[in-house]
Structure 1
């Protein structure tokens, strides 16, 4: 039975991903900071008849991540897929950030993925097989205001991933590295991320359920894709930034604040999970279930790319034949 390691598995996309891999028949190693929440996720994994190994750890601690990888191989027998999901952020303009907040968010969201890649590779190189899935974001391509820490870290993940992929090709290794870029997702991060704005944060619409992200991550692990873009909003964001970045700068200066803030006030003493986990019964979902989409048409076309390309080719051929007949 294949084994997958999921970081950030205690809640949000990580938890949904752990369940998705269990449903697909993987034994699952789970890594996150909050031990109680992680054990709840492990119980959900075990309900599918597979093994679960819960390991409380902070991905910012490289030694702890490496220990988790070694324990996974020792207790579950292998390490076939490693998925880097863990993240932490702050909702605030740069002028209100402290150096400590920037460093911590970068250590978790960027270096946490680096630590995961390095730990996975120490095992995967020895057996010359395995898949590493890094979870990116459309915001790695198009940064937005109030999320400089997150956007900067995700852009760094993308750059590091590209460098490492070339090195794997150079070394002739049968280890695959892929990046899944996500849209806005309905997770608890908008309730527990550190917030300096005085209003509760919200994802920029359209919003997707975490299961959409989880299915994309599993697909990326099992299919040969360099990158997987999830949602038409991700596609539009990435393409628009390549064409009109200056115009987007000015548009986001006007719309980027209101699009990320609700009208609900945020308590000055609201807990934030940047340095310590926030206690509570958080699962995969946040508070935006009523507007969150449970499927992505774009992802369906990505999963069945060959069929859609074939259909497009047939339609193009029929169209060309029709034009020729008219002549």
Structure 2
């Protein structure tokens, strides 16, 4: 017999060896991010858990993936209530355990009770989701880092990266495990500046997110004198580093090439600590390709419980795919 149970948080052992696993999901849940309802389904066979599937519910603006312009503005007031399998802050969707068609349909039947539109965010192309529409998602840039990474780079690329990093040489660099409380509010302010300058805005973090996720994180902090002007939040294991959020003072970021400095310091930390892979996170692809990242394609699946609406959404699926400008 197969059954399903809804719980408010993922179990502590969910993807326990992954920096973006259960501890991170639970910290995110405690933060209470506005406009997101989080939960998790536990599927059991004969009372034994076989599948853990995190989900979240939000109203998704139809223009989320569109480039700035008239059409984006025109569609800005149209939003769809969606129940997603996946996580708002994770680029790759993860289900732990069995992913058979039977299990997925049981999950879908529960999700349809929560929202008219069901979606799977950031999965590969192999999920057995009959009658779901499948659209291309944002690729995830992953950089493999051998110990001699810098020496393997082409001379022209290495010289360019060193020049970018040199622009920040006059700043004070601080690397911390966790986030010192005295920097919490400033980190949030810098996050807001960066978020406000982004074309794609999927979520709006709050101060509580940075407080709750701090014990799981490493931070790279740049100071001009005593003023914090840039940060990079990293989640690390011995095998992989996830680049989570960057925040910058946009009045100073260009002068010091802060974005590049924050990214390049993440590479240096990995090489120093023997971490062999970086997940750089989506968007800003030109630089991530420049340093040698490989693009891992993701897909988003969706299905509306009304067949007519589902057919219409299939015709409009291009609105849910990244624009060409976002892939550069």
Tell me whether the two structures share a fold, i.e. TM-score over 0.5: no
TM-score interval w.r.t. the shorter chain?
A: under 0.3
TM-score normalized by structure 2? 0.26
Larger proportion of helix: 1
Larger proportion of strand: 2
Q: Considering Cα pairs closer than 8 Å and 6+ residues apart, tell me whether 1 or 2 has the greater RCO.
A: 2
